[in-house]
Amino acid sequence: MARLVDFHCHLDLYRDHLHALRACEEEQVYTLSVTTTPKAWPRNRDLTRDTRYIRAALGLHPQLVGEREAELGLWERFAGDARYIGEVGLDANRDHRSSLEAQQRVFERVVSVCEEQGGKILSVHSVRAAGMVLDMLDSLLTRERGKVILHWFSGTSSELSRAIDLGCYFSVNRNMTMSTRGRQIIAMLPEHVLLTETDGPFATVDERPAFPTDVAGTVAEISRIRGTEEGYTAAVIWGNAKRLLQDSGE
């Protein structure tokens, strides 16, 4: 049976994170719990040590790099223990453009460490910076050393094609199904790179924080956009998630 997949969720940031963890386990939603700072990693790693459906990722969020570039050393110290890396990437939106050089230093180091260590799966943020993100991935990470999932992708059509050629996956959330551009991207994705996410609790559904089980609604919307049956879409997404995990040795 196909399971629901939430490949980008900040489980540790829900007000009642233990409830969120338990719900993912009970509902058997395969969830990648990304972290925003390496300081939050040990706790997230420990919380997910015995979970069946939840994995924790080690991150340094590009929007926090302006204040926390110094935590890169801590990120590097933990990297050997982490198969999943995220949230990492670049954000060139107005609010974060001033730290773009620092973000590039951090992301370059993160991708280089993934290349050195191998076997990594990365959840990557690329707001207004898809071209730069793809340049770095293209020059620093070989496909055999790491799998990349572009989270909430919003680049141009040519950036999308380039990302597909580079072997990237795409985690699609509810917000993307509600914008014209997001729907175009969803319609263009080849099915073997399609994944789902919530980006909860930051992203919302019906004006409340999105919850991992909400990916069921996203699967329904994706199916409507792509003209496929929901059961089929869910099976494709679960198949992609399984292949990713197997390729990384799980």
Which spans of this chain sit near Mn ion (rule: CB under 5 A)? 87, 199
Q: Is the peptide bond before 27 cis (omega within 30 degrees of 0)?
A: no
Q: Which two tokens stand for residue 137?
A: 């991935």
Chain residue at closest Cβ approach to Mn ion = 199
Nearer to Mn ion, 21 or 32 (CB): 32
Do residues 134 and 162 lie in contact, with contact meaning Cβ atoms separated by under 8 Å? yes
CB of 200 to Mn ion, least distance (A): 9
Q: Which two tokens stand for residue 206?
A: 């019906």
Nearer to Mn ion, 125 or 162 (CB): 125
Do residues 86 and 57 lie in contact, with contact meaning Cβ atoms separated by under 8 Å? yes
CB of 87 to Mn ion, least distance (A): 5
Nearer to Mn ion, 204 or 223 (CB): 204
Q: Which two tokens stand for residue 64?
A: 């926090």
Helix, strand, coil percentages in the chain from 3-state DSSP, rounded to 5: 55, 20, 25
CB of 230 to Mn ion, least distance (A): 25
Q: Which two tokens stand for residue 62?
A: 């590009």
CB of 122 to Mn ion, least distance (A): 13
Nearer to Mn ion, 45 or 61 (CB): 61
Do residues 123 and 57 lie in contact, with contact meaning Cβ atoms separated by under 8 Å? yes
CB of 41 to Mn ion, least distance (A): 15
Nearer to Mn ion, 192 or 202 (CB): 202
Nearer to Mn ion, 2 or 13 (CB): 13
Q: Is the peptide bond before 201 cis (omega within 30 degrees of 0)?
A: yes
- Give dist(CA 60, CA 39) in Å, integer: 9
CB of 107 to Mn ion, least distance (A): 15
Tally of helices (H runs) and strands (E runs) in the chain: 11, 10
Q: Which two tokens stand for residue 191?
A: 């099915």
